[in-house]
A = this chain, B = another copy of it.
Amino acid sequence: MQYMPVTSSMFLIAETREQPMHVGGLQLFVPRAGQTAEELADEWQAAFTSGCEVSEVFRRRPAQPFSLVGSLAWSVDDDIDIHYHVRRIALPKPGRIRELFHYVSLNHSTLLDRSRPMWEAHLIEGLADGRLALYTKIHHSLVDGVSALRLLERTLSTDPEDRTGTTPWDTRLFTKKTAATVEIDGLAPAPPDEAPEQRTDAETGGLFDELRKSIGAVADVAGQVAGMVPAVGHVAWKAARDHDFISPGYFAPRSMFDVPIGSARRFAANHWSISRLRAVAEALDVTLNDVVLAMCSSALRGYMIDNGTLPSEPLIAMVPVSMHVGGEDDGNAVSAVMANLATNDPDPAARLQTLVASMRASKNVIRGLRPLQALALGAATIAPLAFMSIPGFVNYTPPQFNLVISNIPGPTQQLYWNGARLDGVYPVSIPTSGNALNITLTSTADQMGFGLIGARAQLPSLQRLLDHLEDGLVELEAIAQRTDQPS
């Protein structure tokens, strides 16, 4: 029996029926020439049920008895009931994206079975546009959202002729050593004078540790908080001189997003061409991440105006950032910053300015910190998440941020599964009590996919946020246009 590190068990402990703690991903594939979506689904299902050796991460479940106190341990199943984990379904006509999102909404709402390895893969046929969808769902105690997307991507190939497509749980994938080093917006903190805390094999389990290392990505911040909280006293608060910097002690305004939630979810997603986003970023001399945050800011403002709930103070977003500090043995250093979304400002140009200033201030603070201090700052920033499942906490405690906006770097090359082209990836993350909306983004070679997941009863017509995101980008393009004009 392997004892679980607290960074895993906290997701089991914090989970309630209103707040399932699984992350998901929706991928869309265009079948290869001459192949129907149904044929592609047949091929995929055959791979899924081929009886390949299932890696340990996909065979772990919480050992019985599960209790809220004491240590939690993993138990590893020898047999997997693959027909339970892998599901195939068809959308009803007319098979629009709307029907697909509805299916994902409903299936993201339900808890995973704790008496078996906590993951599911859904092959979804019936899209009128001929594509095949793959929705996957995995418990956050097993892997974080970033790692889950990486696992899916590792089954894909850059070669459209490659026909060796396998499954994310194929043990053969786990023997490859990849050393992806990913950064968001090139955050590069001061060189370390103390090594980031190393988790030992005993704490994390060998394969899991290997997985974490081999993926080497921006880890989901929430997954790291619990072990970091004790270090919070060491944060160099002196660094926080900047007026635009929002420190963890700041209270965000009350909004429609920091409310207790039910278990039902609403999912909406769309993508925007990266070249469009990059053109704006270059014209305005901001980062790609600033552009997507500004789109979110504009969209949230529009959505709250629609609902008559716009607060007079600006919304604050918590944004996880990576701080990759060296070689592949350094582990993952992650922090989080608070972004002032300036949603109270009707002027898009002024909003962008406030937002960019707050992001830059936060990043300057982090750059001035030692890595462990930066981690601790991140931990303090997201610490409230750990208390969200305590009844009454959300009602009686002012929020420190209103939502999480997370940008996960994706593959930069076109990818294929047995020749079927990956045409879109949309993360499906975790709303919580107090954070009724989560926006997570990830990219493919040429697109930025926005995945919006919200508490269904609390966030009516969430899909309108998509229109407002487009409006937000159009606003930014107009500002970029004016900036390019000779003045």
Q: Are B90 and A102 in contact (CB under 8 A)?
A: no
Q: Mark A72-107, 1 if CB is under 8 A from B, else 0.
A: 000000000101100111111100000000110010
Tell me how many chains of this kind the complex includes: 2
Residues of B within 8 A of A262 (CB): 113-116
Whether A121 sits at the interface, judged by CB under 8 Å, is no
Option from B65, B90, B116, B264 in Cβ contact (under 8 Å) with A457: B116
Whether A18 sits at the interface, judged by CB under 8 Å, is yes
Whether A479 sits at the interface, judged by CB under 8 Å, is no
Residues of B within 8 A of A84 (CB): 106, 264, 456
Give A106 to B102 CA distance when docked, in angstroms: 17
Option from B90, B261, B391 in Cβ contact (under 8 Å) with A91: B90
Residues of B within 8 A of A391 (CB): 65
Give A352 to B171 CA distance when docked, in angstroms: 53
Nearest Cβ on chain B to A48's Cβ, whole angstroms: 13
Whether A480 sits at the interface, judged by CB under 8 Å, is no
Whether A41 sits at the interface, judged by CB under 8 Å, is yes
Whether A328 sits at the interface, judged by CB under 8 Å, is no
Residues of B within 8 A of A41 (CB): 92
Residues of B within 8 A of A81 (CB): 264, 456-457
Give A264 to B84 CA distance when docked, in angstroms: 8
Q: Are A88 and B92 in contact (CB under 8 A)?
A: yes
Q: Kindly identify, within residues 433 to 487 of chain A, every residue whose CB is under 8 Å from any CB belonging to chain B.
A: 456-457
Give A38 to B64 CA distance when docked, in angstroms: 45
Option from B115, B125, B263 in Cβ contact (under 8 Å) with A115: B263
Whether A270 sits at the interface, judged by CB under 8 Å, is no
The chain B residue with its CB closest to the CB of A61 is: B262
Give A111 to B116 CA distance when docked, in angstroms: 17
Q: Are A115 and B38 in contact (CB under 8 A)?
A: no
Residues of B within 8 A of A456 (CB): 81, 84
Whether A17 sits at the interface, judged by CB under 8 Å, is yes
Whether A126 sits at the interface, judged by CB under 8 Å, is yes
Nearest Cβ on chain B to A132's Cβ, whole angstroms: 11
Residues of B within 8 A of A114 (CB): 17-18, 262-263
The chain B residue with its CB closest to the CB of A125 is: B92
- Number of residues in A with C-beta < 8 Å to the partner? 37
Q: Are A91 and B89 in contact (CB under 8 A)?
A: yes
Whether A414 sits at the interface, judged by CB under 8 Å, is no
The winner among A64, A83, A87, A263 for most chain B CB atoms within 10 A is A263
Option from B38, B83, B92, B110 in Cβ contact (under 8 Å) with A93: B38
Give A84 to B265 CA distance when docked, in angstroms: 10
Asked if A115 meets B65 with Cβ closer than 8 Å, knowing A92-B125, A102-B83, the reply is no
Residues of B within 8 A of A260 (CB): 64
Give A82 to B126 CA distance when docked, in angstroms: 23
Whether A389 sits at the interface, judged by CB under 8 Å, is no
Asked if A111 meets B111 with Cβ closer than 8 Å, knowing A17-B17, A83-B102, A456-B84, the reply is yes
Give A102 to B86 CA distance when docked, in angstroms: 11
Residues of B within 8 A of A92 (CB): 38, 41, 88-90, 123, 125
Residues of B within 8 A of A38 (CB): 92-93
Residues of B within 8 A of A91 (CB): 89-90
The chain B residue with its CB closest to the CB of A67 is: B391
Residues of B within 8 A of A64 (CB): 260
Q: Are B102 and A109 in contact (CB under 8 A)?
A: no
Nearest Cβ on chain B to A307's Cβ, whole angstroms: 15
Asked if A126 meets B263 with Cβ closer than 8 Å, knowing A17-B17, A83-B102, A456-B84, the reply is no
The chain B residue with its CB closest to the CB of A455 is: B115
Residues of B within 8 A of A116 (CB): 262, 264, 457
Nearest Cβ on chain B to A130's Cβ, whole angstroms: 16
Residues of B within 8 A of A263 (CB): 111, 113-115
Q: Are A17 and B90 in contact (CB under 8 A)?
A: no
Q: Are A264 and B90 in contact (CB under 8 A)?
A: no
Asked if A111 meets B17 with Cβ closer than 8 Å, knowing A103-B89, A126-B90, the reply is yes
Give A347 to B400 CA distance when docked, in angstroms: 72
The chain B residue with its CB closest to the CB of A95 is: B90
The winner among A18, A110, A116, A123 for most chain B CB atoms within 10 A is A110
Nearest Cβ on chain B to A214's Cβ, whole angstroms: 31
Known: A81-B264, A90-B91. 18 other contacts (CB 8 A): A17-B111, A17-B114, A41-B92, A65-B391, A81-B456, A81-B457, A84-B264, A89-B89, A89-B90, A89-B91, A89-B103, A90-B90, A90-B92, A90-B126, A92-B123, A110-B110, A110-B111, A116-B457
What are 6 A-B residue pairs whose CB atoms fall within 8 Å in the complex?
A: A17-B114, A83-B102, A89-B89, A90-B126, A113-B262, A115-B457
